[in-house]
Structure 1
């Protein structure tokens, strides 16, 4: 059986990786797109808090023509809408080709649906485009939440559990044989993805206390 190279761009030191047997993508890319799909709902939920950022303090001496107004970040709204459109589009392809029932039109069920059908998707010719788009929207969400290039995209922080020397990364992982994807520290503590917002707040509070 002829082995085809993975169609995605890889680091220059490994420019060509063979696709996994029976798939269009290599094992690394399949795992990457799975991780992105599992973290996207948590990132999408957190991005909601950036739609209406805290207003800046205005000049207290200025009275004429001044008034408080809520401010919506249109760029964040566009990102959130784009996520939904892309996930819904790929889910529609799966539904059309496989005859499965379409998921509810919101990010969490769409992401779960695509994860459940990932084996089928990554065996199809457009799998490279799918992986690229999923990676793109995950990256866009991370940038929306933390524009600092040294922030969430490469988040590695000390574990928030007292007296734990482990480190936490933003990348999710499967927890044993449960099939669930958790965020964990190197010492073994773990949290469900739905707890990510609370966990990140604890991480940021810890970071600020250290820097104080």
Structure 2
């Protein structure tokens, strides 16, 4: 019987599991990661609107809590949903099974249920790598490294506007308290901006 080594990077050659493209440790890790993604997706929601950690407890007047938009957490949540949807669609199409609900918990549970089938398919390595990248991205967004932090910049959500939105607290100072604004002057409440951007992302995905 011919044994093949796992195609993913390991410190030593590990044989693939029976009937799988991946080795047993990779399959087990993949299942664990899939089960953690719904929790990370929910946790990311609490980090989208972040409060500046710099506070002066001795300052009584003139201080104001400044919320700012955590674009990394928003993108991490959107990526979890989009990538899980994509792989669930692959299973539905190739395995001819009913589609799951479109929520992250439903999608993750569906992929775990069909994990044995998925890991036996040619793109199993790509699937495992993408799922692991979702976990890493989410953890970084929730608990970023303090060194070299740089607030991400996104394009304005207003059609044909060339402005950009900086998610750092200084950008919020040009808008109303609790809001953000683009460099061309458009401003929103943060929750309103999140809704608009999510709708735009969904429209672009459906169009694609």
Which of 119, 124, 129 is the matching residue for 1:122? 119
Q: Call closer, same or farther: CA 1:57–1:132 in 2, change over 3 Å.
A: closer
Q: Call closer, same or farther: CA 1:70–1:142 in 2, change over 3 Å.
A: closer
CA RMSD of aligned residues (A): 2.5
What is the alpha-carbon distance in structure 2 between the residues aligned to residue 123 and residue 58 of structure 1?
53
What is the alpha-carbon distance in structure 2 between the residues aligned to residue 3 and residue 58 of structure 1?
59
Question: 1:1-212 alignment to 2 at 5 Å?
Answer: 1-11=1-11, 14=12, 16-55=13-52, 70-148=67-145
Checking the alignment, whether the CA contact within 8 Å between 2:73 and 2:142 is kept in structure 1 is no
Displacement of 1:124 after TM fit?
Answer: 0.8
Displacement of 1:56 after TM fit?
Answer: 5.5
Q: Deviations over 1:61-118 (max 9, x none)?
A: 998xx98775221221111111111101100000001111111112111100000000
2:206 is matched with which residue?
none
What is the alpha-carbon distance in structure 2 between the residues aligned to residue 68 and residue 51 of structure 1?
16
Q: Deviations over 1:26-66 (max 9, x none)?
A: 00000000000011111111111110001466898998xx9
Checking the alignment, whether the CA contact within 8 Å between 2:15 and 2:23 is kept in structure 1 is yes
What is the alpha-carbon distance in structure 1 between the residues aligned to residue 9 and residue 53 of structure 2?
42
Q: TM-score, normalised by structure 2?
A: 0.62
Q: Which runs of 5+ in 1 are unaligned?
A: 150-212
What is the alpha-carbon distance in structure 2 between the residues aligned to residue 69 and residue 24 of structure 1?
49
2:163 is matched with which residue?
none
Q: Which runs of 5+ in 2 are unaligned?
A: 147-208
Checking the alignment, whether the CA contact within 8 Å between 2:50 and 2:69 is kept in structure 1 is yes
* Runs of 4+ residues over 3 Å off in structure 1: 55-63, 66-70
